[in-house]
């Protein structure tokens, strides 16, 4: 598809759609499908899948596998799709680039806090944003893990995880992932 062609949305039934075989992207949040299903239930299915027509007539999902699973979870029988018209190799590259491009952005914490402050009227459910309440609490510094010391009194508890990386590049990538998840990170090199 050239960048001057207009996008056409077509609707395909579930039985016509399949996950892209060998998709290198995996889901890391076990509750992710249910969370995404909740967002689709709240906002509707707003982002079409991108698909590639295989030789067997099926359409492989190159962008939106997670949305597809969440929609099926809600009982959707058909999905809005944009058919990718490039070669199969380019379709696979498109699948990878769609996921990779998500890593190129990060949250601007002060602006995110402002957005949540505008939304938080005591009635609006902040989980409609995709964030869980504990994540919002952490953003505003209102969240501390509570544990119990030997006397049975509640005390602030911190948990630590040590991650060993192969090289500095992997270390930087992991640090970014942990920070994106809202975790406090301390880097140590030995």
Domain-ending residue, one of 81, 103, 125:
103
**139 and 94 together in one domain:** no
Mean pLDDT of successive 10-residue stretches along the chain, which has 190 residues:
79 96 80 90 95 95 94 96 94 91 87 90 87 84 56 49 81 80 74
Q: What is the CATH number of the domain that holds 39?
A: 3.90.1530.10
Residue 22: its pLDDT value, please? 83
Residue 2: its pLDDT value, please? 57
Check: CB of residue 83 under 8 Å from CB of residue 59. yes
- How far apart, in Å, do the first and last CA atoms of the chain sit? 49
Instruction: Note the pLDDT tens digit of each residue in 131-181.
Output: 888 888 888 877 655 544 444 443 454 556 777 888 888 888 887 887 777
What is the Cα gyration radius of the chain? 21
**99 and 113 together in one domain:** no
Domain that holds residue 65: 10-103
**129 and 174 together in one domain:** yes
């Amino acid at each position: 598809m050239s960048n001057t062609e207009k996008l056409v949305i077509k609707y395909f039934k579930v039985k016509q759609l399949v996950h892209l075989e060998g998709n290198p992207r995996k889901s890391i949040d076990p509750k992710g499908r249910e969370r995404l299903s909740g967002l689709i239930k709240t906002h509707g299915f707003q982002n079409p899948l991108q698909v590639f027509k295989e030789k067997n007539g099926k359409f492989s999902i190159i962008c939106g596998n997670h949305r597809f699973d969440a929609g099926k979870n809600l009982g959707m029988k058909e999905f809005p799709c944009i058919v990718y018209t490039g070669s199969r190799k380019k379709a696979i590259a498109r699948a990878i680039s769609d996921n990779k491009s998500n890593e190129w952005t990060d949250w601007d914490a002060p602006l995110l806090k402002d957005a949540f402050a505008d939304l938080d009227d005591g009635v609006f459910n902040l989980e409609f944003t995709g964030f869980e309440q504990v994540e919002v609490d952490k953003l505003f510094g209102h969240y501390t893990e509570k544990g119990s010391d030997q006397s049975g009194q509640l005390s602030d508890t911190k948990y630590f995880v040590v991650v060993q990386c192969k090289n500095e590049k992997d270390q930087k990538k992991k640090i970014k992932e942990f920070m994106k998840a809202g975790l406090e990170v301390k880097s140590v090199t030995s």
